[in-house]
Structure 1
Amino acid sequence: MTEYVDAVVVGARCAGSAAAVALARAGRRVVAVDSATFPSDTLSTHLLFAGGVAELAAIGALPRVHALGPPRLTVAEMTGAGITVRARYTPVDGIDHGLCVRRTGLDAALTDTAREAGAQVREATKVTDLLWDRGRVAGVRTRDRGGRERELRAPLVVGADGRRSTVARAVGAERPYRSNPNQRACLFAYWHDPDSDQRSVAAQWRAGSDLGTAFPCDDGLVMVLVMPPVERLRDGKPAAAYAEALDRLPGLRHRLRHCAQATKVRSTRDTTSYFRRSSGAGWALPGDSGHFKDPVTAQGIRDALRYGRLLGEAVAAALHDPAELDRSLLRWERRRERECLEVYQWTNGLARAEVMSPLEVEFYRAAAADEKFARHALDVFARTRRPGEVFTLRRNLRLATAALRRVRGRTDTLRTIAAELRRDVQARRARTALGR
């Protein structure tokens, strides 16, 4: 069977649903296919800062997500070196809170929103191959769970099918042109969370080279994530590695003193960050299929929603003009890279599995003493400020000066501070060069 539509979206989770919503609202006939049936789970840290919640609102999914019952996370808290920093959000499009929503409910809400906008969402349907016409992608071949095959022909195929993207592999874009290996493993489980005093707080702790978080979510649970150095998860025993990491994070253990673990531990050792070529003749890769950042800064869902939506809006009027479609896809891809490159580099820095540096300790001290600075730092996570606007070279030099006064000439600390300043300058130079 052959069917003709305006666009096919492969993958109906965050990026795919957002693209389908934008295309359907523009009056295009769009079909989204996914091998899963919803609700279904997927490996994800699923925290949204205020900027990410604003993206849910932009595609019309926020009322459905709020109906799932996640607490509004109005306070962000970071603790390290015995110093605690607390901040509230600068509102983003009127939204002053974050959310942590399990993917079973979140993704079902997104697919329902896509259907309401007019898109068809076909579950339990796998893409087996791409269709080509004179060097252009011209659709997909699918197979449902009953074994029925179908051809969906369209001028645009959106590959929103994740890190192991079938579409990226088929168009030859699977190999990144920019990547950064991870240094941290990622392990999480859900816990029953009776402590109502902390249900509005998204919290992070650092101790030694370990990092851990507690994000209250729907159904009275809290998602507890730890990110130890990746070598501590090489024995294939994630439950043991998880418990050991919790024991190395006394602040997080204290947060869980009245909680009981509700689920098994889920884990991954591979959180390599990358950019892939994300547009070509009749195809595009929003979401993790085209660009991925280490989950330490929790930017994945926000970016999937935003650049899925912007993709649909950018190409809706050009679908049946191949030359203009390709130009629109390339403009969209370049915009994403411009907007994400600095955050990508900043995230790679935070993803290093290292003990807190003297500059980081001074940053915590400065933010704990200055509420405005703390809020500006939170704005970076919410994506309303760039890292370079807040963590300026001048500010880093001031922090370095404060750290030097504190250590009083210790040679090892002096070397550490000098190395970190060099790394910061090198990253700024690299970003400038890449931008050009």
Structure 2
Amino acid sequence: MVTEQADVVVVGTRCAGTAAAIALAGAGRSVIGLDSSAFPSDTLSTHLLWPSGVFELAELGALPRVLALGAPPLTTGLADGAGFTVRAPFGRYGTIGYSMCVRRAGLDAALVDTARAGGAQIRERSRVVALVWAGRRVVGVRYLDRNGNERRIDARLVIGADGRRSTVARLVGAHAPYRIEPSGRSCVFAYWHDTSLEWRSVAAQWRSGDLLGTAFPCDGGLLLCLIQPPRDRAVRVAGQIERQYRRMIAELPGLSDRLDGCTLRTRVRSAVDLESYFRRSGGPGWALPGDSGHFKDPVTAQGIRDALRYGRLLGESVARVLDDPQALDRQVSDWEMRREAECLEMYQYTNRLARGEEMTPIEVELYRAGVADPALGAAMMEVVSRIREPRHLMRSGRKLAIAAGALARAGDRGAAWRAIVRDAHDEISERAQRSMARPNAARHARGWVGQG
């Protein structure tokens, strides 16, 4: 068996994996990335990059290649529901004040090209079959190359950026999440030829009944239209997917109007039985950025940004300590705790939106207030852009006014009271989870740091 040496092996070279590889190679480390796919190739995704995600592309040096794909800058966000349409410009995250929707085949290929240009080796059609261990420490991988030959790479760190069904997570015994929330929604999406120039700068979402639909202009003159029906309306029969997809579009009048004159250009794809989670994401000689370690429901479109950001931060944090196993373990542990601390609130916020139900009286009143107050509408966009934490969306006085308005205007006051009580319970429970997250993570980290 052929054996090679590298500082780091990255398993999976899409968003999280290339981000880590770019950071490590930029710090002068030898990096070999392995992916079972060939690029360009597609993958399931909500595709949207809020300003914070575009910022990450810029930080990695990949933005010029991505801009060359031709996706239009999305400068305005629109959220429509219950007869109210909140429209606001996107705020700036660092130097970036726009969103983008980029098809994954082009986006991922641009990231791979950026990693290669920075000095990382990326090997396509290469499938990891085993990890190499020295006691409790991971010290490399065995993989099958594109010709089916088994090879071995010894490394100081193995980064498993290989998605929700991560091979690395399974092999290190971390596949079972320690925090998990089944989504109340599924996904069904396709690309359309976009004929509406006036909408080409708008990222839009519509809610009607228990359905949620989005329209994001993307590269190639196309439009990504994604529907998230409740879990019990999931599209599961292959021969019925397109028919059900079109039927759901018709149930969202605003989205149906947006698609007027547009032509379906691709097959319709679906994802069902989604679960949001945190997995243990670090151990002696290994780490799990991207969906392999943490996944949020697509309803808030945070996955690409978090994969890029925490892949990059992992690479930056470990690059200088790869030659010291104990220091490396501490850095991986600190990185894991940082991701948990920074992502937990958005995870909780996303789980609320993914419940797969009609808008509550509280949500209706929030949309009403967002129309009346442009500053509140802008703040709603800042939450998904990661400029503002969800808990800072409104001051206490505004929350009370919205609750009072919901009670006064709701056709069913009982439903309004139930929504108010549930929101209060959620806030208390979520605050408690956040307060315990870092101490729990620190205790967990002490359990393995230095034992490799």
**Shorter chain as normaliser: what TM range?**
over 0.9
| Alpha-carbon displacement from aligned partner over 1:292-316 (angstroms, at most 9, x marks no partner) | 0000000000000000000000000
Q: 1:185 and 1:133, CA in 2 relative to 1: closer, same or farther beyond 3 A?
A: same
1:341 maps to 2:344: yes
In 1, distance between residues paired with 2:114 and 2:427? 42
| Alpha-carbon displacement from aligned partner over 1:384-415 (angstroms, at most 9, x marks no partner) | 11111114554322210121222488344333
CA contact (8 A) 1:156 1:282 kept: yes
AA aligned to 1:292 is: F
In 2, distance between residues paired with 1:155 and 1:419? 48
**Residue of structure 2 in register with 1:39 after alignment:** 40
| Alpha-carbon displacement from aligned partner over 1:268-301 (angstroms, at most 9, x marks no partner) | 1122000000000000000000000000000000
AA aligned to 1:321 is: D
Q: CA deviation at 1:235?
A: 4.6
Q: CA deviation at 1:421?
A: 3.1
**Residue of structure 1 in register with 2:273 after alignment:** 270
**Residue of structure 2 in register with 1:240 after alignment:** 243
AA aligned to 1:191 is: W
User: Which residues of structure 1 form unaligned runs of 5+?
Assistant: none
CA contact (8 A) 2:178 2:280 kept: yes
In 2, distance between residues paired with 1:41 and 1:422? 40
**Residue of structure 2 in register with 1:14 after alignment:** 15
**Residue of structure 1 in register with 2:101 after alignment:** 100
**Residue of structure 2 in register with 1:60 after alignment:** 61
Farther-moved stretch of structure 1 (248-257 vs 400-409): 400-409
1:149 maps to 2:154: no
**Residue of structure 1 in register with 2:188 after alignment:** 187
**Residue of structure 1 in register with 2:210 after alignment:** 209
SS at match of 1:189: strand
AA aligned to 1:9 is: V
In 2, distance between residues paired with 1:117 and 1:433? 39
Q: CA deviation at 1:353?
A: 0.7
Mapping 1:299-338, distance limit 5 Å: 299-338=302-341
1:126 maps to 2:127: yes
TM-score by length of 1: 0.97
**Residue of structure 2 in register with 1:81 after alignment:** 82
| Alpha-carbon displacement from aligned partner over 1:66-122 (angstroms, at most 9, x marks no partner) | 000001000000100010001112211211110000001000000000001110001
In 1, distance between residues paired with 2:321 and 2:35? 25
In 1, distance between residues paired with 2:169 and 2:244? 33
**Residue of structure 1 in register with 2:392 after alignment:** 389
1:410 maps to 2:413: yes
TM-score by length of 2: 0.94
Mapping 1:292-303, distance limit 5 Å: 292-303=295-306
In 1, distance between residues paired with 2:236 and 2:372? 42
**Residue of structure 2 in register with 1:113 after alignment:** 114
Q: 1:366 and 1:145, CA in 2 relative to 1: closer, same or farther beyond 3 A?
A: same
In 2, distance between residues paired with 1:256 and 1:305? 31
**Residue of structure 2 in register with 1:227 after alignment:** 228
Q: CA deviation at 1:199?
A: 0.4
Q: 1:135 and 1:417, CA in 2 relative to 1: closer, same or farther beyond 3 A?
A: closer
Q: 1:337 and 1:419, CA in 2 relative to 1: closer, same or farther beyond 3 A?
A: closer
Aligned residues: CA RMSD? 1.4
CA contact (8 A) 2:337 2:438 kept: no
**Residue of structure 2 in register with 1:372 after alignment:** 375
SS at match of 2:219: coil
SS at match of 1:377: helix
SS at match of 1:378: helix
Q: 1:133 and 1:85, CA in 2 relative to 1: closer, same or farther beyond 3 A?
A: same
SS at match of 1:56: helix
**Residue of structure 1 in register with 2:448 after alignment:** none
In 2, distance between residues paired with 1:407 and 1:232? 27
In 2, distance between residues paired with 1:393 and 1:341? 22
User: Which residues of structure 2 form unaligned runs of 5+?
Assistant: 440-452
**Residue of structure 1 in register with 2:256 after alignment:** 253
Q: CA deviation at 1:234?
A: 5.7
| Alpha-carbon displacement from aligned partner over 1:346-398 (angstroms, at most 9, x marks no partner) | 00001111110111011111111111121122111111111111145543222
SS at match of 2:220: coil
**Residue of structure 2 in register with 1:5 after alignment:** 6
Structure 1 residue corresponding to 2:426, chosen from 423, 430, 436:
423
| Alpha-carbon displacement from aligned partner over 1:107-156 (angstroms, at most 9, x marks no partner) | 00000000011100011111111001121100001111211221000010
AA aligned to 1:115 is: R
| Alpha-carbon displacement from aligned partner over 1:3-35 (angstroms, at most 9, x marks no partner) | 011000000100000000000000000000101
AA aligned to 1:20 is: A
Mapping 1:280-295, distance limit 5 Å: 280-295=283-298
CA contact (8 A) 2:7 2:322 kept: yes
In 2, distance between residues paired with 1:274 and 1:317? 30
CA contact (8 A) 1:233 1:241 kept: no
CA contact (8 A) 2:362 2:419 kept: no
CA contact (8 A) 1:278 1:286 kept: yes
AA aligned to 1:76 is: G
| Alpha-carbon displacement from aligned partner over 1:235-261 (angstroms, at most 9, x marks no partner) | 523223212211211110010011010
Q: 1:409 and 1:7, CA in 2 relative to 1: closer, same or farther beyond 3 A?
A: closer
Structure 2 residue corresponding to 1:356, chosen from 356, 359, 367:
359
